[in-house]
Amino acid sequence: MNAANSASPARQTASRAPRGPYWLLSPALLFYTLLLIVPIGMTALLSLYAFDDILGIQQQISFNNYLEVLTDPYFHKIFLRTLVMSVLVVLVCVALGVPEAYILNRMGSPWKGIFLLVILGPLLISVVVRTLGWAILFGREGLISESLQLLGLSDGPVSLMYSQTGVVIALVHVLVPFMVISVWASLQRLDPDTERAASSLCAKPWTIMRRVVMPQIMPGILSGSVIVFALAATAFATPAIIGGRRFKVVATTAYDEFLNTLNWPLGAAIAVILLLANVAIIASYNRYIERKYAQVFES
Amino acid sequence: MRNGYLALAFHTLFILFSVAPLMVICLVAFTDKGYLSMPFDGASLRWFYAILDNPEFIDAFWFSLYLGIASASIALVLSVPAALAISRHRFPGRDGINAFLLSPLMIPHLVLGVAFLRFFTALDLNGTFVGLVLAHTLLIMPYALRLVLSGAVGIDPTLEHAASSLGASRLTTFRRITLPLLMPGVVSGWVLAFITSFDELTMSIFLASPSTVTLPVRLYNYIEETIDPLVTSVSAVLIILTMLLMAVLDRIYGLERLMIGKGQ
């Protein structure tokens, strides 16, 4: 970062004692070893143990829990449902977040800042509270049901509770700020002259959008999509409150195994699979983005 | 470039979508009925007074407050030296260690909850304040570290050299020069870490016991049972407190910078 070869006192002490940075890092690294490596390692080990309804956890090593999760159609359904739900959330977040970030970026000075706060502010409010708002709106006597009936779009009360549509809407609301920030950050790097140049060469607005703006903000859209996907696939509060027992996803299933069925080894196996899938998706997506857009990041 | 009517219409709907659930909560909280309803045909503060009769929410609020203060402070104490090491020195394994220290961001909170439940049960720390503080510290470390790091990178090292060439000891240099320069990063890192801890549900729900319940866990458990105006008035108070905090933060630091830290 800083000039590495400046003959400064700090530098001299650093070169005299090359272990300096490691000493500074040692408290954090020790903390991480004790509270990240050890617990995750113990969970991985737990996922290999057996569980008996009467005897409880048995310390016999086997891959039976993983076999059960990976072969049981019940778990297939839950994993597939989580995947479909997360993809839908990402698609809606792209459809809403990208145009909104673009519109926001073109706004004048006071409004730009105010609306950015309005959109990002909810990130600081607990997900439980934000989801509660949707639960009230979605109920049979909620505002959405009443207005649909008032408009004559529905004959009887409609409830979006316990449905995929309801969970997707609420999750989009929780996660769309991440898409807006991500696209917003890449719009900051966009040179407005490229748009003007294109329009002075008589390009139609749609063509400018497609050929000039989109390619430049694509890295922002992609990294926003990874964040949204990862958070949607592992979300707990929103699917638990809106989806309930009827719309179970991976996170709520693992929770039930742990705290209701008390089958800890099976719950641990689901958690390990979720962790590996999450890390694999983020890592491969990041590698893909870096390779494809290396020149954009370098500029 | 200006936005067309279509763009502004889209924008209006988007903003409406963003604030709708929060506005509904704040409206319902003012109802004078015993069930969920809009306050247009009768408003009152009865559900706000009702919070005072339900100490479980007030206790959980204080518990979350202490938990957030303790874990954000520990996270900062660990982050400051780590950020100085990463920003000032080049050493083997630097990028790897940086990625490792940010790695909790990639781990689903559910997995952390499961892992800590397992770990703390073995140590007999489960359901204790200490256990929750340790778990929350790990969870919020990346946020604290990232903001301290972005503050540390901008510090001009010649200022420290000037101090030590004038005879200041290393401790004095750190206390009088480095730390004040680092302060914006430290304050914003602490606040973001605190808010992240205060709002956390998924991990805490695995670790909470009847005597150690955080406010989000209390709210979640309540909503699982029933949704009534009481839970909306508690939520409305939280929304209003968060908005006040946002206004203060925006004054001191600029909320935009803080938020970009949260999102990426």
Q: How many CB atoms lie within 10 A of CB A99?
A: 17
Residue spans of the domains in chain B: they are 1-44, 55-263
Look up residue B7 and give its amino acid.
Answer: A
User: pTM of the entire structure?
Assistant: 0.89
Query: What is residue B209's DSSP assignment?
Result: B
Residue labelled with tokens 């408009």: A151
Q: Note the pLDDT of residue A199.
A: 81
Distance, in Å, from the CA atom of B183 to the CA atom of B152, rounded to the nearest integer, reads 9
pLDDT under 70: residue ranges of chain A: 1-19, 294-299
Q: Note the pLDDT of residue B248.
A: 81
Chain A: give the shortest CA distance to residue B210, in Å. 14
- The 10s digit of each residue's pLDDT in B38-63 is 878 878 888 999 999 999 999 999 99
Residue spans of the domains in chain A: they are 20-298
Distances (CA, A) of B52 to A196, A222, B11, B33, B216: 60, 47, 40, 18, 18
Distance, in Å, from the CA atom of B29 to the CA atom of B134, rounded to the nearest integer, reads 35
Q: Note the pLDDT of residue B185.
A: 86
**Sign, CA torsion A91/A97/A98/A103:** positive
Distance, in Å, from the CA atom of B85 to the CA atom of B100, rounded to the nearest integer, reads 14
Q: Note the pLDDT of residue A235.
A: 95
- The 10s digit of each residue's pLDDT in B193-210 is 999 999 999 999 999 998
A139: number of CA atoms within 13 Å, CB side? Answer: 16
ipTM for the assembly = 0.90
B139 closest CA partner among B70, B235, B212, B37: B70
Distance, in Å, from the CA atom of B100 to the CA atom of B118, rounded to the nearest integer, reads 22
Q: Does A36 sit within 8 Å of B85, measured CB to CB?
A: no
Q: Among partner residues A1, A126, A141, which is closest to B238 by beta-carbon distance?
A: A126
Q: Note the pLDDT of residue A18.
A: 56
Q: Note the pLDDT of residue A37.
A: 96
Chain A: give the shortest CA distance to residue B196, in Å. 8
Mutate to test the interface with B, among A49, A123, A125, A175 (most CBs of B within 10 A): A125
Look up residue A248 and give its amino acid.
Answer: K
| Nearest chain A alpha carbon to B228 | A136
CATH of domain B55-263: 1.10.3720.10
**Which residues of chain B make contact with A6, given a CB cutoff of 8 A?**
157
Chain B: give the shortest CA distance to residue A73, in Å. 23
pLDDT under 70: residue ranges of chain B: 1, 252, 254-264
Architecture of domain A20-298: Orthogonal Bundle (1.10)
Reduced to 3 DSSP states, what percent helix, strand and coil does chain A have, rounded to the nearest 5? 75, 0, 20
Range B49-73 burial, b when 16+ CB lie within 10 A, else e: eebeebeebeebbebbeebbebbbb
